[in-house]
Amino acid sequence: MTFKAEYIWIDGTEPTAKLRSKTKVLATGEAPPLWGFDGSSTGQAQGHASDLVLNPVFSCPDPIRGGDHVLVLCEVLNTDLTPHSSNTRAALAEVAGRFEAQEAIFGIEQEYTFFDGHRPLGFPEGGYPAAQGGYYCGVGADEIFGRDIVEKHLDHCLAAGLGISGINAEVMPGQWEFQVGPLSPLEVSDQLWIARWLLYRTAEDFDVSATLDPKPVKGDWNGAGAHTNFSTQAMREGYDAIITACEALGEGSKPLDHVKNYGAGIDDRLTGLHETARWDEYTYGVSDRGASVRIPWQVERDRKGYIEDRRPNANVNPYVVTRLVTDTCCTALEKAGQV
Ligand code: ADP
Ligand code: MN
Ligand code: MN
Ligand code: MN
């Protein structure tokens, strides 16, 4: 007896990496082993030394194939088994391990846009739909485009056992969101990559593509982000730690250090319009959707909880944003004795 393992990995495409996958047939009971691929076809190696290694890091049931089939998320290693230069998971593992005692958790809101050929799903041929305002969390065929795909994707994520916590229609027609978490830094990142793969794979069967392009339609249309919600044990217990984290993200060169790693094209999206803060300004505030970092109103009321970094683009690498936020905030909380 056999089962199919879909090996999924992150490639070397610049400036935004893509997902790749291929299938390995395994004998029933066999654990997915190390495998290899042609790095010269994924922007990860030169042709004369093209072999790279796939190291399984997370696996779950494959809801597309069903049965005993599995999805296997891999990190990319060199043939000497050191992390490849495109492997951003290894650096996160180090930082997450260093601050493990603070019990950091993340919930990431993944926004994305469906495309039918060259047009966002729901956009009329050669024109624009009615201006945005009625689409967010809307209902009805005049406002909602792609719900059957979204529902299928949610079911697939649940069947895979991912920690997906919700979905909603977004401000621009054809634009949607799902949330993964709250989970530990490595868990939320691994599971978000799998959820992204399932999104592309699910939409493929509807002849629709999904994109994480942060500004898929220029002009007066909302961009797509990946709001990153974050807390540590101390933040879940008290407001001083909430403020320490907000201040830490604004200190010195931190705003720019973060923003330049929050996804390609960040300055196109963080314009100060469309519920964003300008990319070159750092602010935080309660309930403020125009701030870089928002403290939800319940958090101020309860004097504890979590913060929302609203800056990351939809195309952000979750291994990078969770590493930066963990490092910046947990270092400051440690210094302040708020652990
Ligand atoms: P928004 O109002 O910004 O649209 P969402 O409901 O879409 O918020 O997303 C909020 C996210 O915050 C969810 O993924 C949720 O799991 C996450 N979250 C909730 N509590 C915490 C917490 N204590 N720490 C980190 N993330 C959290
Ligand atoms: Mn949301
Ligand atoms: Mn949203
Ligand atoms: Mn949000």
The 10s digit of each residue's pLDDT in 15-61 is: 999 999 999 999 999 999 999 999 999 999 998 889 999 999 999 99
Token pair of 21 as six digits? 């996958």
Helix (H/G/I), strand (E/B), else coil: 90: helix
User: What pLDDT is stored for residue 138 in this prediction?
Assistant: 96
pTM, two decimals, is 0.98
Does 90 map to a domain?
no
- Answer yes or no: do 71 and 109 share one domain: no
- Answer yes or no: do 219 and 241 share one domain: yes
Average pLDDT value for the chain? 96
- Answer yes or no: do 55 and 154 share one domain: no
- Answer yes or no: do 170 and 243 share one domain: yes
- Answer yes or no: do 73 and 101 share one domain: no
Kindly report the CATH number assigned to the domain that includes residue 79.
Answer: 3.10.20.70
Average pLDDT, integer, range 311-320: 98
Amino acid residing at 208? V
Number of domains in the chain: 2
How far does residue 108's CA lie from ligand 1's centre (Å)?
Answer: 7
Return the ligand 1 atom nearest residue 179 CA: 14
- Answer yes or no: do 264 and 130 share one domain: yes
- Answer yes or no: do 149 and 23 share one domain: no
Rg (CA), the chain: 20
Kindly report the CATH number assigned to the domain that includes residue 234.
Answer: 3.30.590.10
Tell me how far apart the terminal alpha carbons of the chain are, to the nearest angstrom.
50
Return the ligand 1 atom nearest residue 308 CA: 3
Average pLDDT, integer, range 62-88: 98
Does 191 map to a domain?
yes
Does 319 map to a domain?
yes
Token pair of 54 as six digits? 């796939």
Which one of 105, 109, 286 would you pick to mutate in the ligand 1 pocket, going by the greatest count of ligand atoms within 8 A of its CB?
109
Return the ligand 1 atom nearest residue 310 CA: 3
Instruction: Find the domain containing 6 and state its range.
Output: 2-85
Last residue of a domain, one of 58, 85, 112: 85
Last residue of a domain, one of 56, 85, 114: 85
How far does residue 111's CA lie from ligand 3's centre (Å)?
Answer: 6
Q: How far apart are CA 28 and CA 24, in angstroms?
A: 12
Neighbours of ion ligand 2 (CB under 5 A): 109
- Answer yes or no: do 111 and 176 share one domain: yes
- Answer yes or no: do 168 and 246 share one domain: yes
